Amino acid sequence: MLRITDAAIQPFEQKHTNLVRRLAPEGVIMLKRDGRLPFSEPSKIAVYGSGARKTIRGGTGSGEVNVRHFVTIEEGLEKAGFVITSKDWLDAYDQVRAEARTSFIEEVKEVARKTGTNPALVGMGRTMTEPEYDIPLCGEGSKAIYVVARNSGEGADRKIEPGDMYLSETEIRDILAANEKYENFVLVLNVGGMVDLSQVKDVKNIMLLGQLGTPTGDVLADLLLGKSYPSGKLAMTWASLEKYPSTREFGGLDDTFYKEGIYVGYRYFDTFNVMPDYPFGFGLGYTDFKIEIGEFAANEKDITVDVAVTNCGHHVGKEVVQVYVSKPEGVLDQPFQELISFAKTKELKPEETQVLQLCFPTTLMASYDISQASYVLEKGEYIIRVGNCSDDTTVCGILVMDGEAVISKVKNICPEWGFDDLRGCRTIKSEKFENMPRIYIHSDKVESNEVSYNTNETIPDIDDAVRWDEVISGLRTLDEFVGSLSLEELIYLCLGYFEEDNEAASIVGNACVSIAGAAGETTRRLREKQLPSMTMADGPAGIRVSEQYKIVGGKPKGLTSSISDLTEFFDEETLKHMAEMELPPTPEELVAKTHYIFCVAIPIGTTVAQTWSMDVAEQFGDIVGSEMQMFGINFWLAPAMNIQRSPICGRNFEYFSEDPLISGRIGGAITKGVQKHEGCAATLKHFVCNNQETNRFSSNSAVSERALREIYLKGFEICVKESQPHAIMSAYNLVNKEHICNRKELITDVLRSEWKFKGIVMTDWFATQTYVTDQSGRKNKYPVAYASGCIKAGNDLCMPGGKTDFEDILNALQEQNHPYHLSIGDIQRCAKRILQKIQCLGGSV
């Protein structure tokens, strides 16, 4: 573990920041362009909007990365030589914003007072709605940008009101006025998710910049000056909120019904002929491309399409080729089309051509048939389409299945969701297929398998003591070590390390003893046996730890709070109380050296997915992996893989896409990048259906077995199979009335038996300990998850762990009538999996 005592910028920071600056434009998208970008040189520019000076580098909560410094848009433009002519506007806006922020904090405190709730909990994830104001657009010159910024984070969903999901009246007025006033105008979106642009979509240029971590402002300057170019594509459909089928019932406190079934995102818009503002897969750069379809080949195993892409514009650029399939409708209704493969070109100069070969497994087109508890390819025609967005595809060939093929026989896992899913009424638009190449496939030749579900392994008890170093040196086996452990030791292994006098270390994960400000670690109670503990730190936009710490009493002590934002919501009395509780520095602390961990913030998950590039995603993972290795972090609590079911979800910025193929493949690439570093592991989260923040600890996602498997599990499945992550974090919520961490069908049957996942499963933080009420103090309908239920389900680790977890597990062993009655074997199996990870990843003693 590297301990840096020099406050100066380290070479790794510079290197990683430069790499982020170079890669980030691949996730930036022009939603509209007039052909005047890029500018030939830096000049005078008027800069307006909330994100100009108060730029957002990533969201709030555990997803926030504490950085040394990040480049705002104002700073980035000035560094690049632009002269900002609207400083008066920016100063006036600062004042308006400061006043609005004071009232916002007061409102949060007031809610907390009224409901008797901790203000940090009420404030968590809540972000201020953009205020309304009237400041003259004073900047001179012919160029202007207007930067709309939006922030959000764990604990709250976005607000369906002007200033959040919608543009405020001020924003609409000023964007339209600036578009008129300046010859060159760009609306820049410094957002983590969708904003309804319907009122301004005709302005000259719209750039979805996103939130790009440490070099955000530099990246924009590079893009404006043509030192780089945008080449991203949307990974989520953008449309007015009322058009999404999920909007009406979004955010139920107790239950949220996923009635749209498999019709999520473009699967809905394309099937039901609803026009979005910007379709899935859409994105312009500075140039244009021509896509020509070449050879189409298919057999029982693979489908291959050759596509020639030519840059027919005047700037360099990269294009993304997307392949979709329209499946035949038999017993199962089907969406108009589903993404089945994609590839990005290299950088193409004007007139340059590249031929891409896209190849994907035939079985990837299977659907889930609940009546047979199987993934099947139904009989009929599979129409393969190629294009550069879901709204612009051309048929390239047809695969004809002569009968039904059962690809995989499994079992139904999550019954009783209690409603009928929306059914598609697909109209294949009047397309002519006569001259299309047709390839016939024999259903009985398609590979098929039947899953056998895990039977429990038993580990014999042994009487003599075994030390961990004996296991590492090969003298004793892992089973012998497990068999030698006392019941207490076994239970402690299945709980994170908690100090009894400091159980609720923090609201946002901050329960790690070995690394200041990190989220948690595995137990340190078996140190006598030389057993190391493994550390965990949050992501996904980099690594979240305290930037400065001292070693006091042998332990790192953070000098900066990792929840600094939340303390804003405390009243003076609480702050005074906190200050009083803070012990004065000891003589040892006063003289101890300060250490520095300045990690680099990478772009948010959504931007990474918008690159549609596994190569880029892997490089981002590589940045994180190398910093983890340097600072002794074993588990990165990322990538975050939930489906962007609704644009309202407050954590969408951490997530990748509304589509499971992109989520799975991008997540897989990041995982590979992280895990190529020795001792470093990715933790896919939040498994599964954690698609809203409203009452996230206790909300039940009611979802059909088919939608669960085809949409919500699919991304995790692809990622697990492609990259074998070392860990998965189960989500807080319930699926069909049971907490996921207590659901054996998901944690053991699906993850381990069906997907052959070899890692550990940990809970989300405090999932088993608190939250009998929601944020307003109302009693929740569903009970809190059980720690014993976790062990029974095969959820190996309860994080960050606590005394009540310990007691519950012990009770479950002793009481026959306990809802999750346990045997010692249940605990040994979980403990063994954790030990297997320590064996492979190491850790610190």
Positions that interact with ligand BGC (CB under 6 A)? 62, 154, 508-509, 519, 538, 637, 685, 764-765
Residue type, 524: R
- Smallest gap from residue 32 Cβ to ligand BGC (A): 34
Residues in Cβ contact with 587 at an 8 Å cutoff, skipping those fewer than 6 apart? none
Reported as type and span, the H/E element at residue 597 is none
Is the Cβ of residue 637 or residue 841 nearer to ligand BGC in the bound state?
637
Q: Which amino acid is at 613?
A: S
For residue 746, give both structure tokens. Answer: 């998901």
The CB-of-262 to ligand BGC minimum distance in angstroms stands at 26
- In the bound state, the residue with its beta carbon closest to ligand BGC is 509
Nearest to ligand BGC of 417, 716 (CB atom): 716
Instruction: Tell me how far, at minimum, the Cβ of 727 lies from ligand BGC, in Å.
Output: 11
| Shortest distance, position 477 Cβ to ligand BGC, whole Å | 33
Q: Phi and psi dihedrals of 759, rounded to 5?
A: -100, -165
Report how far residue 211's alpha carbon sits from residue 148's, in angstroms, rounded to the nearest whole number: 11
Question: 18 or 770: whose CB is closer to ligand BGC?
Answer: 770
Q: How far apart are CA 518 and CA 562, in angstroms?
A: 9
- How are beta strands 143-149 and 184-190 bridged, if at all? parallel
**Separation of alpha carbons 204 and 186, rounded Å:** 7
Residue nearer to ligand BGC on the CB measure, 638 or 711: 638
CB atoms near residue 654 (< 10 Å): 30
| Nearest CB to ligand BGC, comparing residues 335 and 509 | 509
Instruction: Return the exposure string of 188-211: e unless at least 16 CB atoms fall within 10 Å of the residue's CB, then b.
Output: bbbbbbbbbbeebeebbbbbbbbb
Nearer to ligand BGC, 266 or 687 (CB): 687
| Residue-wise DSSP of 796-815 | -BBSS--HHHHHHHHHHHH-
Query: Given the complex with ligand BGC, which of 342 and 653 has the nearer CB atom?
Result: 653
Q: Least distance to ligand BGC from the beta carbon of 741, Å?
A: 13
Nearer to ligand BGC, 26 or 764 (CB): 764
Structure-block tokens of residue 679: 């001792």
Minimum distance, C-beta of residue 65 to ligand BGC, in the bound complex (Å): 12
Give the nearer residue to ligand BGC in terms of CB position, either 154 or 369: 154
The torsion angle over the Cα atoms of residues 260, 264, 268 and 270, rounded to 10 degrees, is -170
The helix/strand/coil state of 196 is strand
Closer residue to ligand BGC in complex, CB, 348/507: 507
HEC profile for 545-594? Answer: CCCEEEEECCEEEECCCCCHHHHCCCCHHHHHHHHHHCCCCCHHHHHCCE
* CA–CA distance, 681 with 723 (Å, rounded to integer): 11
What are the residues facing 844 on neighbouring strands? Answer: 533
The C-alpha atoms of residue 507 and residue 562 are separated, in whole angstroms, by: 10
Q: Output 482 or 681, the one with its CB closest to ligand BGC.
A: 681
Nearer to ligand BGC, 539 or 673 (CB): 539
Compute the distance between CA of residue 95 and CA of residue 420 in angstroms, rounded to an integer.
Answer: 52
Minimum CB separation from ligand BGC for residue 683, in Å?
A: 8
Residue whose CB is less far from ligand BGC, 231 or 733: 733
Strand partners, 773: 779
CB of 736 or CB of 763, closer to ligand BGC: 763
Rounded least distance, CB 508 to ligand BGC, Å: 6
Cα dist from 319 to 233, 301, 439, 781, whole Å: 9, 27, 28, 49
Closest CA to 518 of 532, 533, 538, 488: 538
Find the shortest distance in angstroms from Cβ 62 to ligand BGC: 4
Measure Cα distances from 13 to 269, 372, 624 in Å.
Answer: 43, 54, 11
Contact 651, 152 (CB under 8 A): yes
Residue 765 C-beta: closest distance to ligand BGC, Å? 4
What is the chain's alpha carbon radius of gyration, rounded to the nearest angstrom? 27
CB of 562 to ligand BGC, least distance (A): 9
Cα end-to-end distance, the chain, whole Å: 12
Pairing type for strands 320-326 and 338-344 reads antiparallel
- What is the smallest separation between the CB atom of 123 and ligand BGC, expressed in angstroms? 14
Minimum separation from the CB atom of position 192 to ligand BGC (A): 15
- Smallest gap from Cβ 68 to ligand BGC, in A, equals 21
Q: What minimum distance in Å lies between the beta carbon of 684 and ligand BGC? A: 11
Measured from the CB atom, the residue of 62 and 363 that comes closer to ligand BGC is 62
Measured CA to CA, the distance from residue 180 to residue 174 in angstroms comes to: 10
